[in-house]
A = this chain, B = another copy of it.
């Protein structure tokens, strides 16, 4: 039987080594490549495709989510497992929406990691109890995690995102208006729309949202 071919993508050497050390010794799994960035990944993908891609969600340049989205269409045969520091439901749902077949926290155990790889390879999806809990809870509260969720950045238009970014960088409405060559009224409109869409109350909430959703660096 062929081994399960895995490519590892994480910009932290320590994490990559951790996974490697956990997998080494398993006879049915083989790491055929590893990368610390999207560019590296693209290179090694040319040398041979894996069955499973283990992707750090918070990759430096191009995020794991973005990569997953691109590969979902480009390589439909490859299953993607997301690796994340956090059990944030935002991350989980974004991963699902991007087509990931599994979501593992970085404090996972060897047992869980191997189970996840084998499960995904068999064509199923794998979520630890903790992750499924979060998914279930959100179903209960929120109906459907697929369509843009309440308070998710996907509800915002391109322009609104621009305005939000500038604002969260500390620019005044007038400065934003000047920078975008629009009237200050328009800026106000956009901000209002954002607040309504996201159900936020104060400018401070806007800033927090922008940080949470990585519009700006903290």
Q: Residues of A at under 8 Å CB distance from B? A: 11-22, 36, 83, 85, 105-110, 167-170, 172, 201-205, 207-208, 211-212, 218
Contact = CB atoms under 8 A, between A and B. Distances in A.
A212 to B, nearest CB: 6
5 closest A-B pairs by CB: A18-B18, A14-B18, A17-B18, A170-B202, A21-B21
User: In terms of DSSP, what is the predominant structure of the interface of chain A?
Assistant: helix
B18 A16 contact: yes
A62 to B, nearest CB: 16
A170 B36 CA distance: 38
A172 B201 CA distance: 11
Contacts of A85: 12, 85
A15 B13 contact: no
Contacts of A19: 14, 17-18
